[in-house]
Amino acid sequence: QKEVEQNSGPLSVPEGAIASLNCTYSDRGSQSFFWYRQYSGKSPELIMSIYSNGDKEDGRFTAQLNKASQYVSLLIRDSQPSDSATYLCAGSSGSARQLTFGSGTQLTVLP
């Protein structure tokens, strides 16, 4: 079964710190990876996508992909209390390019 595993958390970091979220995947056929943020009671919203090995930066967020190690990560710099949410890692694969999600990591940024 194709799986995406995330560090279970919950994760707490102080305001201004770097939050590191990690994800591993089992399907080597996965081509694209996505990080979504989900606030309690809301739907997932896209933070970043990454398709190639290496780093991709967007503002305070950096996604890293290592296909050889089947590893994806998300770094959040200068964490803010508004970043407190569940972060979902997803890989795209299969005939329908469907997203396979991890179970999420709950992040709390303490003021």
Binding interface with another protein (CB under 8 A): 4, 31-32, 34, 36, 42-46, 49, 51, 88, 90, 92-104
Closest CA to 79 of 23, 13, 9: 13
Using the minimum distance from each CB to another protein, give the nearer residue, 14 or 29: 29
**Beta pairing partners, 99:** 92
Using the minimum distance from each CB to another protein, give the nearer residue, 42 or 77: 42
- Other beta carbons within 10 Å of 25: 23
Cβ contact 5:24 at 8 Å: yes
Measure the CA–CA gap between 34 and 111, rounded to whole angstroms: 28
Question: Residue 20 CB, nearest distance to another protein (Å)?
Answer: 19
Question: Residue 62 CB, nearest distance to another protein (Å)?
Answer: 18
Question: Residue 77 CB, nearest distance to another protein (Å)?
Answer: 23
**Beta pairing partners, 13:** 109
Using the minimum distance from each CB to another protein, give the nearer residue, 16 or 26: 26
